[in-house]
Amino acid sequence: MTLHGQSIIAGKTVDSTGEAFTATNPATGKSLEPVFHESPVDQADAALKAADAAFDEFRAKTPEERASFLEAIADGIDALGDDLLKRANEETGLPMVRVTGERGRTTSQARLFAKLVREGTWLEARIDKAIPDRAPLPKPDVRRMMVPVGPVVVFGASNFPLAISVAGTDTVSALGAGCPVVVKAHPGHPGTSEMIARVITEAAEKTGMPAGVFSMVHGKGSEIGMALVKHSLTAAVAFTGSLKGGRALFDAASSRPNPIPFYGELGSVNPVFLLPGALQQRAPQIAEAFVTSLTMGVGQFCTNPGLVFGVQSDGLKQFMEKTSFLVKAWQPTSMLHAGISNSFDTGVARVIATQGVDLVARSQTPASKEASQATAALFSTDAANFERQESLREEVFGPSSVVTHVGSKEELERIAESFDGQLTAAIHGTEDDLREHARLVRILERKAGRIIFNGFGTGIEVCPSMHHGGPYPSSTHSHFTSIGTAAIYRFVRPVCYQGFPDDCLPQAIQNKNVTGAWRMVDGEMTKGDV
């Protein structure tokens, strides 16, 4: 596929006149062709007007038609073959095995949402039949279901060029819900983004979707993204990125004359709690799994284990010894781009300069800054110092973690209570440990969206039960997930229909249950007709 470097609006390539930029291979520092251009603000307007014009036609499509659209997207991504993998590898520095796996996740989740949409239970249809002779007042016929909210703006994430980008969970869940999508491509992988955008455009045409169902614009700065969020036709926004950038967009979405939901995933330090029984039984094994999680993807995951807490013991000493050995042996690896690499170095330098914190281990092989490489870093401190140094709670995006030595269970619980919202929290222990530390679990339920026992937050399973979100600042809406099939609920809202003739109702809540979805009828779940 020959890249053109332009915006794609309602199925058409549109020349952009903004500032020129190119993607850069972080491992070599070389610019990649072609030249891309910032999309002007009027293209944001054109894309959203096209999305709004397409909305009624698109949401009227049957579940089968929308599911076929999603499957065509997945098939088109597969058909790109190695060309897509090569471009993603060149733009991000992620190894081929990683982008290959991520492509599989991307197409699998598109097909998963197709299955969800086709089956229909996600619409949460509820029917309460009329009782006209009820005394003292008749009971009306009342029915309720989920409906799409309208055009959705999606911001591609830097660290997942496929799975949380142009055709990632945000896009396919919004399309599955019946919402047109306008994507703001991430400037770190614009070529990969264009390849996927062209697949979506072709899939829309092939399956008979309205042209405005999908558009993609480019932007290296904040102007085009802010214009998309502030546009009066935008109904919801999905974002994965930094706390600073996400908060600015969240504030813009909230301060509009008509505020809209901004579903931001903004980052997390993902505390890990090592309990005594587990440390006594298998400290070296926990250390190996920890370093694998810490360095996975060069630590560039929002679920990276950035803070560890353990009660002082021989087991914790063994954990530190094994972890130190593995961190020293870890080879420097290129990060996604020079900006992230520089930010990581700044974050590590800040931790090194923090009073009462010791640098325990760092990769022995020096990093090549020309290749935007990072070295792994392990720090330690005590509980009293951790509680004094607020800066230790700030995310360092990369393979760096601080281990805090605590003196008691009560100290462990006090530290857990002091955290702001987190995407994940992990507990390593035995079953007896878990019973002994039941209060710690209760505390973490208030702090995190996902609690992991004897594991780590990296390596998210895409499934109906997954919740990827948490109290602020880890995300802006703790009730909703950005991963798994429940992600679709970000882009729908309930509408109640009272007293309507059956043939004038949406198909999902008519008397005949065409799709065989589960529905609540008079308070009972059933797949039958009314």
Residues belonging to the active site: 265, 302
- The one-character DSSP state at 402 is E
Six-digit token pair at 129? 């039949």
Burial 288-327 (b: 16+ CB within 10 A, else e): ebbbebbbbbbbbbbbbbbbbbbbbeebbebbbebbbebb
Residue 7 CA, distance from chain mean position: 24
Lookup result for tokens 């910032």:
38
Lookup result for tokens 């987190």:
422
Closest CA to 110 of 54, 64, 175: 175
9, 217 Cβ separation under 8 angstroms: yes
Q: Decide the pairing of beta strands 262-265 and 236-240.
A: parallel
- The one-character DSSP state at 131 is B
425, 273 Cβ separation under 8 angstroms: yes
- The one-character DSSP state at 139 is B
CA distance 306 to 316: 17
Around Cβ 477, how many Cβ atoms within 10 Å? 18
Around Cβ 516, how many Cβ atoms within 10 Å? 11
335, 302 Cβ separation under 8 angstroms: no
Residues with Cβ within 8 Å of residue 431, at least 6 apart in sequence = none
CA distance 236 to 180: 11
Backbone angles phi, psi at 220, to 5 degrees: -95, -30
Six-digit token pair at 141? 């016929």
Q: Decide the pairing of beta strands 12-14 and 7-9.
A: antiparallel
- Find out whether the peptide bond into 34 is cis, omega within 30 degrees of 0: yes
121 Rama class: left (phi>0) / alpha (psi -120 to 50) / beta? alpha
284, 291, 412, 415, 434 from 278: Cα distances, Å? 10, 17, 15, 20, 10
Around Cβ 77, how many Cβ atoms within 10 Å? 23
Closest CA to 299 of 382, 206, 370, 363: 363
Q: Reduced to 3 states, what is the DSSP secondary structure of residue 311?
A: strand
Residues with Cβ within 8 Å of residue 144, at least 6 apart in sequence = 124, 125, 126, 494, 495, 496, 497, 509
183, 193 Cβ separation under 8 angstroms: yes
CA distance 439 to 435: 9
